Amino acid sequence: NGCICCELQDDLETAVVRLANERSFDALVVESSGISEPAPVARLFTTESRAAARYRVDALVTVIDTRQFIDAFSGADVPERLTDPDAGDDRPLSDLLVEQIEVSNVVVCNKADLCTDPEIEEAVGLVEALQPSAETVVTEFAAVDPDRILDVGIFDESEVGDLPGWKRALDEARDD
């Protein structure tokens, strides 16, 4: 009970260091909840820490519910705000989705079976606008070939602070 990106950061670090010491796995996948911000979790593995000394970040993967993603950006009847009183978080769902996609190397557009082809194209277009360098994988039932997301070596720590796609587009438009 708590937020992995702030309250549980020490617990996460302790757990992943323990796992590294046991060396009983080939890859570590950290799956945070759908409402956590991925950048603080990634920083645990990229800044000076006991976890960073034992791991290398391979890729930041975001899985979206394509139907809800489209609905969040179209103004359809979905929960419009995330409310987490413990974290003092009360913001539009679309803001969190944008944050999660902006730091991603791979975006999995899941539940594509619940969308029409034009809706899938719209979702992929939105993802590309938010994070032009991310690979987009369209899937159903989260059936993703592990080779698309594990041991791909596409994480670049220097890009985490880069301008997100939508800000880059605004800057380019201003320059024209």
Same domain, 79 and 144: yes
Is 160 a member of any domain?
no
Q: Which of 28, 57, 86 is the last residue of a domain?
A: 57
Same domain, 30 and 69: no
pTM: 0.77
Query: Which ranges of the chain does DSSP label H, i.e. alpha helix?
Result: 9-22, 38-44, 66-74, 93-102, 117-130, 165-175
Same domain, 88 and 131: yes
Same domain, 53 and 65: no
Where in the sequence is the domain holding 105, given as residue range(s)?
A: 58-154
**Among the listed residues 134, 113, 11, the one whose alpha carbon sits nearest the alpha carbon of residue 62:** 134
Same domain, 66 and 10: no
* HEC string for 150-164: CCCCCCCHHHCCCCC
The answer to whether 119 and 72 are in contact (CB under 8 A) is no
The answer to whether 149 and 107 are in contact (CB under 8 A) is no
Buried-state track 135-166, b at ≥16 Cβ within 10 A, e below 16: bbbbbeeeebeeeebeeeebbeeeebeeebbb
- Rounded mean pLDDT, 98-110: 92
- Rounded mean pLDDT, 89-118: 87
Is 103 a member of any domain?
yes
Distance CA 154, CA 11 (A): 27
Is 167 a member of any domain?
no
Same domain, 44 and 67: no
Same domain, 32 and 100: no
Same domain, 75 and 146: yes
> 115-159 pLDDT, tens per residue?
999 999 999 999 999 999 999 999 999 999 999 999 999 988 766
